[in-house]
Amino acid sequence: MTLTLPTLNAASLDEATAHLDGVYEHSPWIARAALAQRPFATLAALKSAMAQVVTQASREQQLQLIRAHPELAGKAMVSQSLTHESTNEQSKAGLTNCSPDEFAKLQQLNQAYNAKFGWPFILAVRGPRGLGLSRTQIIQTFERRLHGHPDFELQECLRNIHRIAEIRLNDKFGQTPELGNELWDWHESLAQHSDPGFKENGQLTVTYMTEAHQACAKEIAQRMRECGFDSVRIDVLGNVVGRYESDSTSRNIHQGEVPKTPQKVLLTGSHYDTVRNGGNYDGRLGIFVPMMCVRELHKAGKRLPFGIEVVGFSEEEGQRYKATFLASGALTGYFNPAWLEQSDSDGILMKNVLPALAESALSAHDLIAKIAELKRDPHDYLGFVEVHIEQGPVLNALNFPLGVVTSINGSVRMLGEITGQASHAGTTPMQTRRDAAAALAEISVYLEQRALQDGDSVATIGMLHVPNGSINVVPGCCQFSLDMRAPTDAQRDALVADVLAQIQTICDKRGVSVSLEETMRASAAPSHPAWQARWEKAVAATGVPIFKLPSGAGHDAMKLHEIMPQAMLFVRGENSGISHNPLESTTNDDMQLAVQAFSALLDDLARN
């Protein structure tokens, strides 16, 4: 029988615990503790409450929960003594049909994993789309996680247990994340377009104005038409722009009248280009989630008192040409004509890949004029919102599916060089050395401590190099990079000032000299308070806890921030939130929640 929330909310504690039997394998204490928080308004709220019970349990209880699970394709499967739920999951993933080689491999992995960690390997084998991972995917994941740190693996097992519980709850409540499944499939379909050299290896790479890039634009445009947008176009820079008009504008269009006071428009979107060998969701999620909302509005024959403009930005990653944010920048009125003369690694100039120029439809002069026309007038818009996969580990670690962005961090990047004295590693006494790399090591330790002090600043030395270094030579030179970010410009500037002062102190003390060159400085883009509050309300409407965090990475919203209020919503990434990597993933359920949150934001805007 299908369970409903009203039934669960009204049942006695014993009955309700029995209703949730089997959600967490052999561990009814989790349901019992979570049920204290009844009534649950949404299934997502129940899932969250159960996950938080596990998070707050002792390590011993967490280990017991993990150990209550069977091994994958293990003895319990062979002797058919698995729980009903586990049998269903292991057979959906095809584990009951292993070849003898696969079976032997899994036994060997089970043994190695147990020997290393002391608990069984847990994987939600129905996977992020719920259909079941392939045996190859399972074995690859197993091999990868065998190399993990025990503290991390313990948490990763728990996260997989929460995902298993989520799918079991969906089954119990007869709820399928239909919109999330469709969104998943849209991403899968778009990921079929990939640049040569990557496509052959099953890797996703879509850089500016390649054949794959233009195919992506066409596919997004076609899908927008199918969703019921009133107008869809691809602009001269390759941005795909879909408009779903407001109630009065659409009435006027249909009656052939010119609207007297046009209603304002909500601007949203993200980018569809990718880094090399990237993930399926970076950027694209922020195009597809609002498209899905528009489709649902259109299906229901609903118009809102404002228009919705969804933009698939053509270029954000700066991979083929050093023109990062070229697409969203153009909407703010910024375009550097020098970019047109830039060449890619094959010597192809940007001006020769832009279809409008390459097909000689326009002269360069006309093109620049056309690009200038892409500038949006902020008076026409309510603001800009962007949905994006988190690209970081925070939501994943805390078991929160959604996160409200408080600010896009401001950053400063520098390249530096320390000059000391190269000398013989055997003959130079320690007290007379002027070791450039040792100075950098001290700087690195300080950098870490100083950023930690702020709580939410980050600082990284991502490159360090001893030119012509040798095992028996005290480094005379050390080149390095600095990347420092913080949620406000003031906090970033204080961080940078302290780091620079300490670098000078360390170098003076060690008798080495230092030169630094600033290579980038980007302002922080704090979320507009009213828009951030709207996202908070929208997340609350889905029933999951409101969690706020800054964005460490840059996004198109940073550019729009220059001309209109903006705020972002993050969606949890799997695999520690890894991004710019093929392992980037999110789940059908999390995508469904993103659609629900976006729809709640639209409803709220429509009411107020």
Residue type, 508: D
Q: Which is nearer to Zn ion, 110 or 586 (CB)?
A: 586
- Beta carbon of residue 534, minimum distance to Zn ion (angstroms, whole number): 22
Nearer to Zn ion among residue 245 and residue 584 (C-beta): 584
Only one of the segments 57-65, 121-129, 281-289, 488-496 lies at the binding site for Zn ion (rule: CB under 5 A); that segment is: 281-289
Burial of 572 (0-12, 13-18, 19+ CB in 10 A): buried
Q: Are strands 231-234 and 240-244 parallel, antiparallel or unpaired?
A: antiparallel
Nearest distance in Å: CB 593, Zn ion: 19
Binding flag, residue 552, Zn ion (CB under 5 A): no
CB 417 within 8 A of CB 503: no
Q: Which stretch binds Zn ion (CB under 5 A): 119-127, 279-287, 354-362, 479-487?
A: 279-287
Rule CB under 5 A: say whether 573 interacts with Zn ion. no
Name the residue nearer to Zn ion (CB basis): 85 or 282: 282
Closer CB to Zn ion, residue 283 or residue 401? 283
Stretch of 95-103, 238-246, 278-286, 490-498 contacting Zn ion, by CB under 5 A = 278-286
Give the residue among 209, 205, 238, 208 at the shortest CA–CA distance from 221: 238
* Distance in Å, CB of 383 to Zn ion, minimum: 20
The token duo for 238 is 């390759």
Of 383 and 554, which has the nearer Cβ to Zn ion? 554
Q: Give the one residue of 269, 279, 283, 550 binding Zn ion; rule: CB under 5 A.
A: 283
The answer to the question of residue 282 lying near Zn ion (CB under 5 A) is yes
User: What is the identity of the amino acid at 552?
Assistant: G
Compute the least distance from the CB of residue 194 to Zn ion, in Å.
17
Sign of CA dihedral 562, 291, 243, 219: positive
Q: How many CA atoms lie within 13 A of 285 on its CB side?
A: 33
Which range binds Zn ion by CB under 5 A, 225-233, 274-282, 437-445, 532-540?
274-282
Is 35 or 216 the residue whose CB approaches Zn ion more closely? Answer: 216
**Residue 277 burial (CB count, 10 A):** 15
Nearer to Zn ion, 283 or 475 (CB): 283
Number of residues in contact with Zn ion, rule: CB under 5 A?
A: 2
CB of 271 to Zn ion, least distance (A): 6
> Does the footprint of Zn ion cover residue 235 (CB under 5 A)?
no
Enumerate residues 6+ apart whose C-beta is below 8 A from 50.
20, 23, 24, 30, 31, 34, 162, 165
Query: Please, which residue, 284 or 376, has the CB nearer to Zn ion?
Result: 284
E strand or H helix at 477: strand 477-486
- What angle do helix axes 84-92 and 150-172 make, rounded to 10 degrees? 100
Of the candidate spans 283-291, 335-343, 491-499, 589-597, the one that interacts with Zn ion by CB under 5 A turns out to be 283-291
Alpha carbon distances (Å) from 231 to 260, 270, 288, 519:
20, 18, 16, 41
- Distance in angstroms (rounded) separating the CA atoms of residues 343 and 352: 9
Both tokens of residue 380?
């026409």
| Interaction site with Zn ion (CB under 5 A) | 282-283
